[in-house]
Amino acid sequence: MLADLEELVMCESYSADHAAVARSAQVVAAQGERLLGAPPRTLVIDGVTHLRWTFGTPRILLLGHHDTVWPIGSLATHPWSVEQGIARGPGVFDMKAGLVQMFHALASLPSLDGLCVLVTGDEEVGSTTSRRLIEETARRCAATFVLEPSAAGGALKTSRKGVSAYDLTVHGRAAHSGLEPEKGINAATELAHQILALQHLADTVTARTGPGTTVTPTLTSAGTANNTVPARAELSVDVRVPDAAAQQAVDTLIRKLQPKLPGARLEIGGGPNRPPLDRGASRELFALATEAAAHLGLDAPRQAAVGGASDGNYTAGAGCPTLDGLGAVGDGAHADHEHVVTAAMPIRARLLAHLVGAMQ
């Protein structure tokens, strides 16, 4: 398993580099073919490479991704290593170890009939090209197991917040900032008003629907020169919500935002991206995982609700029971301390194999 993990990590797969993702797909495909006994179907959608294995009529979807957030060249600063039971390297935790565990788990089964394995190449950037593929597959299945990394301490992820993303653009009017600033409409000042309005908006949604909603201004830009009143300003907004009602409430309120400065114009783009993964979508599968752990003599699994989203949000939103976080045990997704506890890898593979076998 460690040799396979090293092979995947050493093939960098930054989401924005479609050529690198295509190279990674070839490595994942070869590894999967060796362990599953069949080649995948390679699907290239808008330049992004995805892989799908189908065995018989699918009833169970196993879902993962092979792209990472790490730019090409990250191996130079975050090299592959295994020391004292800890594996490190870009993407090792999120989620290349999950793919290795999945392939080895399925290789241990007497039959793969009824399974669909889908490994996408753009999860880290919102699954723009793979969302339809994921949802169409999930609608035909009775269960989805997501090989994203576990929550703290190996907990399974039974609830995820929904995600919305917005782009606010303010159109003002340029003017010389020293000679006649009063003739301009300062887009940066208007943007500041909108940032304050967004904070109030988050408080409003929390009062209406309950706690758990966050509305976070992230990327900002404004202006072209130090001596010019900014004619344009831009803001990206990250929204996390606990349920569909909060997601809809945020969307309605954001689209009602109005400029404060006379003459300024506000343009709003984006919207809901991933629906929430509600705990109810995981309840029966988590119970099955608890039974499987007991049968294998393992500690009872714990469950966790997390703010980050995954493609499991899409499968649950499509009406398919979904259990997430079945991948690696470790920590540091997207961070310098990203790592995997290697001793947990075969244990998690055994748990997944038992889960899948119980549903076949």
Q: Which residues are catalytic?
A: 67, 123
- Structure token digits, residue 261: 């400065």
Query: What is the spatial distance between Cα 265 and Cα 55, in angstroms, rounded to a whole number?
Result: 54
Query: What is the spatial distance between Cα 304 and Cα 325, in angstroms, rounded to a whole number?
Result: 9
- Structure token digits, residue 185: 């409409």
